[in-house]
Amino acid sequence: MRRVGIIGLGNVGATAAFNLFTHGYCDEIVLLDVNEAKMQAEAIDLLDTLPVNEHEVKVYYGDWDKLGEADVIIAGFGVKVTSSSEELAINSRNARSVGEKIKASGFNGVIINIANPCDVITTVLQRTTELPKNRVFGIGTMLDSVRLRRVISEKLKLNSKQIGGFVLGEHGLCDFIAWSTVNHDFSENEQAEIAKQAKENAEKLIGGKGFTNWAVTSAAMELVRSVLTDEHFYTVCSVYVEEYGIYLGFPAVIGKHGVEKIAQLSLSSDEELRLQEAVALIKEHLTKID
């Protein structure tokens, strides 16, 4: 029996629950949220789909002990605030509380974090649960990379699955396109145009609906599926890179044990500098919550 826990039922958490329920990725779901009325309502709404759902899925809610037998936990408990410093303070505090409850449940699976600031929160969850670093990772710059690939695919009029390339670094203020990882060549002007378009698309999205849920959830589902099926999916996410001593957006292979392998990249000198800047920023953020 494949069991997945979801902590936090906001826009992304609830969308993730629906995807798990309708795509047959797991047999059991555990829903957890501080808002008990919403948690119960989401469970009821999901259960009401059973008569027309292709898959039979059991739903638990409100019981942290049920996480003990889960294979994967999606951590999506982040509080949306306007200040990045406030987000860091509140979500890191919440991460410690959540991590302690996960640890108390006896959970020994894989945690996938989608709460922001992703790299810092992933660090807090790993430290608090004391799980091996490879079994705790975050979505990181995966969404940024997906957005990049979409823009490139439209420019080249190719299927987006034919496009390779990663955004690395700190998911937030200090990420960057590693053009050395992109499998198509572009001039500097074209690179600038693509980067601008990807940024503008994200701004229009947030400006228009106030949040993102479809793309980030789809990315998270790929990570969940990769763990449950041991796919060994090569992607970029927030992983612990020993060389830098922190979690940051970097390519890795995802399988049943979480992070199976960290990629070896040949970055340009400029890209390496940008990565070091991201490392410094993440470490600075960590000092503020220690």
Tokens representing 107 are 């959970």
The helix-helix angle for 11-23 and 36-47 (nearest 10°) equals: 20
DSSP string, the chain: --EEEEE--SHHHHHHHHHHHHHTS-SEEEEE-S-HHHHHHHHHHHHTTGGG-SS--EEEES-GGGGGG-SEEEE--PPP-S-HHHHHHHHHHHHHHHHHHHHHHT--SEEEE-PSSHHHHHHHHHHHHT--GGGEEE-TTHHHHHHHHHHHHHHHT--GGG---EEEEETTTEEEEEGGG-SS---HHHHHHHHHHHHHHHHHHHHHHSS--HHHHHHHHHHHHHHHHT--EEEEEEEEETTTTEEEEEEEEEETTEEEEE------HHHHHHHHHHHHHHHHHHHHH-
Burial annotation 231-255 (CB, 10 A radius, 16+ → b, else e): eebebbbbbbbeebebbbbbbbbbb
Q: How far is CA 112 from the centre of its chain?
A: 6
Candidate list 23, 171, 184, 257, residue with the active-site label = 171
Known binding-site positions: 8-13, 33, 91, 114-116
Known active-site residue 171 = yes
Known binding-site positions for NAD(+): 8-13, 33, 91, 114-116
Just list the catalytic residues: 171
